[in-house]
Amino acid sequence: MKNILRIILNLVVCILGLTQCHAQQILPLNTSTFNIPAGTYFKDLNNEFGYYLGSWKGNYQDKIITLSIVKVNNKPFEMWDRNYYHDQIIVRYEIKNINGNILQSTLNSSFNEENDVHLLIESSGTEANGNVLKLLFAGGNCSVGIGEIILKKINNTQFYWNYYPGTTTRNDITCPPNLDYNIYLPETENLIFTKQ
């Protein structure tokens, strides 16, 4: 009798546990969040990010730009007052002048804290089956340089860089004058980066 009660109790616990568990819905990267349940995971199912991962170099106006592109899986984000998860690209960079002096670098930045988004470049989506990667740049001090970066595949080892800053000046009222407000990222279209 004890064994039967123990079996029934275990079955009840398992059934209750199963009814309380909800499987996380997994959808492709660019799926709209409209009417999608909270907790959905927008995953890089088609490896659209794979091409961009790694180290890349480009030259622009006597500057050497190194990009280090990594993928973060299952990163939480909030939209429409709901929590979701998505795979995302994070771009760290270093810009040196012709003499090898570092003008700006985020290669060692963690970007882990919500308030540590200064100089952050992160993906916002892909287009043309992954042949175009759209990125958002958080900008530098006082968000100077905030804007969009678009990478377009050329071939297996090169892509075009297109950077469109939305703000290129600072606000004299709320931004202290002693900070660096230079935009070091190359403000140009069709700059070629080569995989290293």
Residue 7 pLDDT: 55
Residue 141 — very low, low, confident or very high, per pLDDT cuts 50/70/90? confident
Higher model confidence: residue 157 or residue 113?
Answer: 157
CA 142 to the chain's CA centroid:
20
Give the Cα separation of 136 and 86 in Å (integer): 15
Span 8-28, pLDDT tens digits: 555 544 444 444 455 789 999
Average pLDDT, integer, range 114-142: 87
Interval 34-61 mean pLDDT: 95
Q: What are the Cα distances from residue 103, in Å, to 54, 179, 183, 187? A: 22, 14, 10, 15
Does residue 65 contact residue 194 with C-beta atoms inside 8 Å? no
CA distance linking residue 66 with residue 88, whole number of Å: 19
pLDDT of residue 35: 87
Predicted TM-score (pTM) of the model is 0.83
Please report, for the chain, how many H helices and E strands are present, in that order: 1, 11
Is pLDDT larger for residue 12 or for residue 148?
A: 148
Q: What residue ranges do the domains of the chain occupy?
A: 25-195
Report the C-alpha gap between 107 and 188 in whole angstroms: 22
- Chain-wide mean pLDDT for the chain? 87
CATH class label, 25-195: mainly beta
Contact 68, 107 (CB under 8 A): yes
Task: Record the tokens describing residue 186, joined without a space.
Answer: 């190359």
Q: What local confidence, expressed as pLDDT, does residue 1 receive?
A: 59
For residue 21, the model assigns a pLDDT of: 52
Q: How far is CA 29 from the centre of its chain?
A: 12
Q: What pLDDT was estimated at residue 3?
A: 56
Q: CB-side exposure of 44: number of CA atoms within 13 Å?
A: 22
120 or 117, which is more confident: 120
